[in-house]
Structure 1
Amino acid sequence: MAKIWVEAYGCSSSFADSEMISGLIVNGGHTLVQDQSESDLNLIVTCSVKDVTATRMVHRIKQSQSKPLVVAGCLPKAERHTVEKFAQNASMMGPNSIGKTLQVIEATLNGSKVVALDDTDLSKVGIPKIRLNPAVGIVEIANGCMSECTFCQTKLAKGDLNSYRIGDIVRQVKRELADGCKEIWLSSTDNGCYGLDIGEDLSSLIEQVSQIPEDFRIRVGMMNPMFMPRIRDNLLKSFENNKVFRFLHVPVQSGSNDVLNNMKRGHTVETFKDVVRKFRTKFGPFTISTDIIIGYPTETQENFEETIALLKETRPDIVNLSRYSQRPGTVAAEMPQIDVAEVKRRSKQVTELNNNISLENNRKWIGWKGSVLFDENLDGQVKGRNFAYKPIFVNEITEIGQTCTVRVVGATNHSLIGEIAS
């Protein structure tokens, strides 16, 4: 039996995959180690969504080759040649082939290189897992997506939509709660299209999960705007349940309809505005998170200014900003690219605007008092979330998974600062 080191990068689904891989490893009789120097085999669950991320993955792959190595996740599926260029003898697993984890590990330990990139029919619901955070249960509700975005490798790595049945997901949530989780993340490549392939939808899933008679909170993961008109009204209703965080991650990517059309995003700027308006009108304080790509090959200065105008109008609490980077195998990678210096200039302008908006939004919370669920310990500081999923840091010692009454006494552009009030 071997000692295995597992590390993961990327989205919540990638971390969920690493938890399942770790669970399979332990169930197979192997041991997980907390120090890479003690391992007999290294396993990296990779992400390839951005060029800078892929570069970091290559760096970690190169650093981990002194032991038998398995490279899992999106990078080997989307860019097998990149992995083999820097780690010729490494075994590989795709994001949909984790059912082969033990076979790949055992062959690799015996000196064989295994390439297991084909999808298996194994559902990711019900697999044993070793949780990264004892308070948070990451539950994958689907795999793959229905989009054809010209800039993204996700479809290359994860394929078409494969939604899991509501009953299976509910049973998985119950298992997470039985293990002590207080916060459930409903996660997938794109929650917005959940159920389209099996005659279900996201709002129905949320309602079923909300009915579980336990004390817990639900974070609904990213959903692309193009699917929002179909589910918006029912989604508004499902968010009325107090177990659901008043939080939406809806990546608009650009404030220009021309750029969105070139990206093949399938939605307009107006779709995003409508979602923001409807949820804030109904619920009041509501955290909106979005993604913006700066420097897409067809983005003109006028298009960029439209993005600035959209951010000023909608004032999202969180903006995940990316400078466009060419990803192998995508349509946009073959287009003429914008000068790097110009992309940096635009990116800096958006960053400054985002910081100002976030700080102004967060300052409105000063003086708020209410219930906070503490879900993470970061360098000695405990971080919690209120009903709107606002991150709140306190200096007082408290336990992960505990709920306390907190008063907000300060704000930064990234979080709130609180003190225990009870």
Structure 2
Amino acid sequence: MIESLLVANRGEIARRIIRTAKRLGVRAVAVHSEADADLPFVVEADEAVCVGPANPAQSYRNVEAILAAAESTGAQAVHPGYGFLSENADFARTVQARGLVWVGPGADAITAMGDKINARNLMAAAGVPVAPGTTEPATDLDAAVAAATEIGYPVMVKAAAGGGGMGMAVAADEAALRTEYDKVRAFAERMFGDGSVLIERYFPRVRHVEVQILGLADGRVVALGERECSVQRRNQKLVEESPSPAVSPELRARFLAAAVRAGEAVGYRNAGTVECLLDPATQEFFFLEMNTRLQVEHPVTELVYGVDLVEEQLRVAAGLPPTFDPDALTPRGHAIELRINAEDPKRFLPGPGVIGTWVEPTGEGVRVDSGYVAGNTVTPFYDSLLAKLVVTGADRAEAIERARTAVADFAVAGPKNNLPFFAELLTNDEFVSGDYDTGIVGRMR
């Protein structure tokens, strides 16, 4: 097993990784910005190094500062968490070139999946269903219009290098496409340094379902069930659950088989997620993208399958076998995750501030992965995620009931937060029925 680990991230996920590292006897090193010096992940690490000011470009995306911290602390390996440098192939290569262990998939897999058009083409060649769309970038507006005419409106206009729901727009007709194409292209150039645009069929009523995969050290790729991620605002997930209430045993078998093929197609190692769109009317699903990292929502899979995915990541990186039998994975019960964000519960606008009260719920089937405690300041420099409230039950009905109680017991004062939204969602007839889609939040507003 790896003996010392530098966590190249912050907040909730850094704290989460450090917790597993310490349980395994692995020395945990944190890096942090000046703005995060007092956060729990810094305090709980065995050693912590300040790598720069609040601006992420000067701290959490500062490759040389992070690698200098690894060298000065004697860290053996680097875990990137999610966001920041986690899907940066150049960073992965540089980590390994410096003689460190990279806790993630290979740089070639990150590169292959980082471009949505290339990823679509690879998946289609591997027999994974893809939605009708362009096989090459729409290099100008005329090409985009021609592609949309062939595909059929409405279409989704996507940044080919985008991710996390960013750089996307829907065009219902040619007039809308002419407006949205330039917006998406400009956004893509500004955010990702790549203005390539993909045109793809848009499905008005669709569910977002993803599969957790793990590429093992021996070369096998295994799938650890699916997660339902259809409760979203602005293409950003708010709630995840496993198993999906929309997926039958027959459909699940198809999902998992396709996800394994996707991983095998790029020689995948370590944890990753194959994201798909599911048409509930036809039960057809289409590849959306592959996230070459640990997902925010990984706890629901951990609780349903009884595994620690961070531990499995470390074991793969160290060349060790998994703690579980890949041929005997058995899901148990139901898990739901709520992303508690520092944002207005109605308009979902960020609401940073000093946390005056922070009381986490407890009880059977309740887990809280948090990044803050009372007295901490939620700054405007980073993602608004405060904590992940994860509940389990013998079935979905019990999980929902426990979630209602946990939301009511979660006390946060200071920054704005979306706990009131979840109180509303958990009594919403559409959500409770399980028959919902990615438009549910819009229908609630």
The bucket for the TM-score relative to the shorter chain is under 0.3
Q: Compute the TM-score of the two structures, normalised by the length of structure 2.
A: 0.26
Structure having greater relative contact order (Cα 8 Å, sep ≥ 6): 2
Higher strand share: 2
Q: Compute the TM-score of the two structures, normalised by the length of structure 1.
A: 0.27
